[in-house]
Structure 1
Amino acid sequence: MTSLPSPTKEGGIPGKPGNPQSPPDSLHAGLKNRHVSMIAIAGVIGAGLFVGSASGIAAAGPAILVSYALVGTMVVLVMRMLGEMAAAQPSSGSFSEYADRALGRWAGFSIGWLYWFFWVVVLAVEATAGAHILNGWIPGVPQWAWALIVMIVLTASNLASVSSFGEFEFWFAGIKVVAITGFIVVGLLAVFGLLPGSDNPANGFGNLTSAGGFLPNGAGSILTGVLMVVFSFMGSEIVTLAAGESSDPQRAVTKATNSVIWRIAVFYLGSVFVVLTLLPWNDPSVVKDGSYVAALNSIGIPHAGQVMNFIVLTAVLSCLNSGLYTASRMAYSLGRRSDAPKSFGQTSARGVPRAAILASVAFGFVAVFFNYQWPDTVFAFLLNSSGAVALFVWLVICCTQLRMRRTLEREAPEKLIVRMWLFPYLTWGTIASIVFVLVYMLTDDAAREQVLLSLLVAAVVVAVALVRESGRRKAKAATGTDT
């Protein structure tokens, strides 16, 4: 394998606003430390945690905690690997550029476009979810109009400057963090009987074992739970893309990587633990009202449903905002590497990749239309065909780190500021875990279609990448120049 190129040759490390030496069409370092810190803290808190945990609890009971712990451990290890590479070579394309350098252009092309596809489909999902909540508050405005309004506002924010994105995300993320921290504190006070006026008498930790034991549906339900919660962790890798537009990307990545353990432990395991201790896992209200609303209702918190709707709306808007940012930066990186239209790799005077943003949001608008027009056919196909992309991304990160680590140790060991633990054993163990989850999904009736359709789309994208790679080699051989 050839030496790793400098990130500046890839256009990955941003210039600073007003710096005359900044390369043309480069991103600007417009994100402040507080922006990146909050994105890192709240990046793991997706809307899926608030609305998706109920189905996991219903399937596995209290054992869902083990499912969250297993997936959380896998994400911690993947983030450690990604943090190692990002701290050594900060880049706007993150793992896509690293795969390009370490595994080949076909790998960077394939995983970059698959990741972009995942996030533009997520835009449609989140816009529809947000529109549903807003329509419930103001029914005079139809859902499609709310979806349009939300998409336009956040598109305008992303088009203005990266600092506008950062400011929006700072406040969205801040509300999520405050909300879930408050939920955990209030819940634990109720669990220990210290919450004044609580309708729920102190029960300690009895609910963890009272309704059929800790494993009411058997040990196999842990794996079922893994399949149900794994995709709620998607998004933790966003901070490595955002760090590329901060003034000190290495410090931002290092800090985010080192804090991922406590973030997952507190926000995921902590909040779900509180839900399971406040009421029995098989309480009908968990599925009917949602796990967090049911928990708040159980201790007499007034207007719990509306409070949680506001928090979920914030999480949805945060996901929309960061999803549009992530998709556009991946498209920008692909454009810079000639793996997408060249216009995607161009920026405005304020360092914003406008063409990449507009192309991403345009596909998002089309997907929203599909969601309203053909929700059970066309949109269902889009949703299922992007469903396993998260696992593909994590798998590529692992394989890339295996090769990039050895190259860095040989050529630039001083850049290994963040190091993967017990390399290469934990890397291989994580690869085995991800492959196991993918194979296990094939045995699950609900997840099988997602894996098969995602594999189909991935195969098509990889085939396109290999054809392009073959064309480049032939052109290079014919002209004797690089293409």
Structure 2
Amino acid sequence: MSTTEVAAPHDEMQRGLKNRHLQLIAIGGAIGTGLFLGSGKLISVSGPSIIFVYMVIGFFVFFVMRALGELLLSNLHYKTFGDIAKDMLGPWAGFFVSWNYWFSWVIACVADIVAITAYVQWFNPNIPAWLPALITAVILTVLNLQPVKIFGETEFWFAIIKIIAILGLIAVGLILVVTNFQSPEGDVAAFSNIWSHGGMFPMGASGFVLGFQMGIFSFIGVELVGTAAAETENPRKTLPKAINSIVVRILIFYVGALAIIMSVTPWDKIEPDKSPFVSTLAVAGFGLAAFAIQLVVLTSAASSANSGLYSGTRMLFGLSKDAHAPAAFSRTNNRGVPTKAVFFTCVFLFSAIPLLFAGDGVVAAFTFVSSMCATLILFTWGSIVVSYIVYRRRFPEKHAASKFKMPLAAVAPWLVLGFFVFIAGTLLYGDDTRPPFLAAPIWFLILTLLWQLRKRKLLRDGRPLTAAIPTVAHPLDEE
């Protein structure tokens, strides 16, 4: 690794992430702003059935990640799923997938900054909305100019804070349930609160279906493991562990936490425009704990945005290497950081500031941005699944030899694609998610025009439409 870094310090990234970094990045990616902030609105829309929503989404996301894991390990020269798309589906797919993923993370980071603004105003409503948004954008820019090892350490501790906070909330909630704690409003903490206020499906099938809209946003970031694998020291050992733990994380952090929240506070008394994590502890009389949780969810949003910027800049780096973006974006400094890609991406974060003043409040802005992001991430995840289908048909010998095969490989990809069509339908069905969903085709039209322009220029210059993926053994291969 050191030889590579010395020989090509300005156009290669460094493998500075260790096993503990990748494992915690995987956990941090699965615990995002959608859980901490968006779950309040989801509960108000779906009631207790939100538990089943998260279980269903988690089930299908697990298969997406297993597909991604097998693909990445089939050739360690793959840096991102953009590389996989261009290799399996063609140069156009690499262009579309990579630019779309970059854009989706720009949007997700804006959503996180909007959420951070909401958290800061919880401490002091008189703080102007633009101030925390501006400060956050500047801090994120500085963090992403650090070497990948620093990023790994930052996310490692951010993730630990999230884990301790959620496990602490679950523990406190269990104590309140066991002791039959009674809130000042007279509500007694009990597991029966989950189903005794209208049943598990109080909003009927319609409420259950609507829960999938923002529920999908909560899971955006699990694919960060795939991006980070390119800068991980031993992906063959660490990647399977990180992916296989996804189901357990979902059961504990999503299903477990929300079940406890609705046991302590009946779901119909949870305010949709506030974090239920904070509200639960505040209702229980733990003012200081609620204050601490508020700090945690604030750092969680910062962590999510930090991870998103990292992933987006690495995707931009790959686009530049393929000649699908300006060459300057593939230049790295002597610490392996693609600085120009970082600065270009961070410029868009400041769009969160006018967005805060354009709508009907922070939650409305968050809903719009997260819905747009959910629409775009369906395309990204769908490209992984379609690439996997092509991979199995084109390289059956690689699939047979894989030590990390996707379960139900012949059937699961098609079920996942069918589920994504269902999610698209739910986004089109909801009044507040329909506008951003219908706006997404404009973005893909822009991508189509940009691809045609880029393609013609490359052909005129006699250059390949994309950089080739090496087929020789990777230095990290065990053989």
Q: Distance in 2 between matches of 1:348 and 1:412?
A: 38
Contact 2:225 2:239 in 1 (8 A): yes
Corresponding residue of 2:293: 308
How far off is 1:298 after superposition? Answer: 4.2
Identity of aligned residues (%): 33
Tell me the distance in 1 between the aligned counterparts of 2:289 and 2:155. Answer: 24
Secondary structure class of the residue paired with 1:451:
helix
Find the counterpart in structure 2 of residue 10 from structure 1. Answer: none
1:403/1:307 CA distance change after superposition, 3 Å: same
Amino acid at match of 1:319: S
Corresponding residue to 1:269 among 238, 246, 255: 255
SS where residue 123 of structure 1 aligns? helix
User: What letter corresponds to residue 335 of structure 1 in structure 2?
Assistant: S
1:378-457 aligned at under 5 Å gives the runs 385-410=372-397, 413-414=400-401, 416-457=402-443
Shift of the 224–372 alpha-carbon distance from structure 1 to 2, 3 Å rule, reads: closer
Partner of residue 116, structure 2 = 130
Looking at structure 2, the residues matched to 271 and 136 of structure 1 have their Cα atoms a distance apart, in angstroms, of: 21
Give me the whole-angstrom Cα distance separating, in 1, the residues matched to 2:220 and 2:386.
18
Correspondence for 1:333: 318
C-alpha RMSD over aligned residues: 3.0
Matches of residues 288-327 of structure 1 in structure 2 within 5 Å? 289-327=274-312
Change (3 A) 1:307 1:441: same
Between 46-55 and 457-466, the greater mean CA deviation after superposition: 457-466
Q: What residue is the counterpart of 1:371 in the other structure?
A: 355
Change (3 A) 1:23 1:66: same
- Cα distance change on mapping 1:147 and 1:78 into 2, 3 Å: same
**1:355-380 CA-partner distances (Å, limit 9, x unpaired):** 11111111222x13432564579x89
Measure the CA separation in 2 of the matches of 1:345 and 1:100.
18
After superposition, the C-alpha distances for 1:155-214 in whole angstroms (9 at most, x for unaligned) are 22221211111111111111011101111122123223388x998887542112211122
Q: Tell me the alpha carbon deviations over residues 256-310 of structure 1, each in whole angstroms, 9 at most, x when there is no partner.
A: 1111111111111111111122222112x44365322332234332334422321
CA 1:153/1:194 → structure 2, altered by over 3 Å: closer, same or farther?
A: same
d(CA) in 1 for partners of 2:5 and 2:461? 37
Matched residues in 2 for 1:198 and 1:17: separation? 63
TM-score normalised by length of structure 2: 0.87
Cα offset, 1:32, TM superposition: 2.2
The amino acid across from 1:244 in the alignment is: A
1:235 maps to 2:227: no
Partner of residue 156 from structure 2, selected from 157, 162, 170: 170
Measured in 2, the distance between the counterparts of 1:61 and 1:384 equals 20
Cα separation, 2, equivalents of 1:429 and 1:271 = 28
Q: Please give the alpha-carbon distance, in whole angstroms, between the structure 2 residues aligned to 1:406 and 1:22.
A: 36
Mapped to 2, the partners of 1:105 and 1:252 lie a distance apart of 29
Say whether residues 1:62 and 2:23 are aligned partners: no
Distance in structure 2 (CA, Å) of the matches to 1:93 and 1:310: 34
Instruction: Give deviations 1:377-405, integer Å, cap 9, x for gaps.
Output: 9x898776544111111111110111123
Q: Does 1:43 align with 2:38?
A: no
Please point out which of 256, 264, 279 is paired with 1:278.
264
Do the aligned residues in 2 keep the contact of 1:275 with 1:292 (CA within 8 Å)? Answer: yes
* Shift in Å, 1:482: 8.8
Partner-residue secondary structure (3-state), 1:159? coil
> Which stretch has the larger CA shift, 201-210 or 238-247?
201-210
Question: Corresponding residue for 1:52?
Answer: 38
Residue in structure 2 matched with residue 86 of structure 1 by the alignment: 72
Change (3 A) 1:475 1:439: farther
* Whole-angstrom CA distance in 2 between matches of 1:20 and 1:107: 33
Q: Quote the Cα distance in structure 2 between the aligned partners of 1:202 and 1:397.
A: 46
CA displacement 1:442-477 (0-9 Å, x = unmatched): 23322221221112212321343245335545765x
Measure the CA separation in 1 of the matches of 2:255 and 2:413.
24
Q: Does 2:14 match 1:28?
A: yes
- Checking the alignment, whether the CA contact within 8 Å between 1:332 and 1:344 is kept in structure 2 is yes
2:316, 2:325 within 8 Å by CA — same for their partners in 1? yes
Corresponding position of 1:158: 144
Deviation at 1:217, TM superposition (A): 1.5
CA contact (8 A) 1:91 1:241 kept: no
Return the alpha-carbon distance in structure 2 between the equivalents of residues 150 and 293 of structure 1: 21
| Structure 1: distance between partners of 2:107 and 2:187 | 44
Counterparts in 2 of 1:376 and 1:114: CA distance versus 1, 3 Å: farther
SS of equivalent to 1:394: helix
Aligned to 2:30, the other structure's residue is in SS state coil
Alignment gaps of 5+ in structure 1: 1-14
Q: What is the distance in 1 between the residues matched to 2:464 and 2:67?
A: 37
Unaligned runs of 5+ in 2: 468-479
Greater Cα offset, 227-236 or 212-221: 212-221
Matching residue of 1:5: none
Instruction: Sort the Cα spacing of 1:279 and 1:399 in 2 relative to 1 into closer, same or farther, 3 A.
Output: same
Task: Write the distance in 2 (CA, Å) between the matches of 1:16 and 1:409.
Answer: 35
Distance 1:411 1:37, change over 3 A: closer
Letter in 1 for 2:204: G
Count of equivalent residues: 462
**1:130-209 correspondence to structure 2 within 5 Å:** 130-134=116-120, 137=123, 142-193=128-179, 203-209=189-195
Q: What does residue 77 of structure 1 align with?
A: 63
Instruction: Give the direction of change, closer, same or farther, for the CA distance of 1:329–1:286 in structure 2 (3 Å limit).
Output: same
Partners in 1 of 2:408 and 2:314 — Cα distance?
32
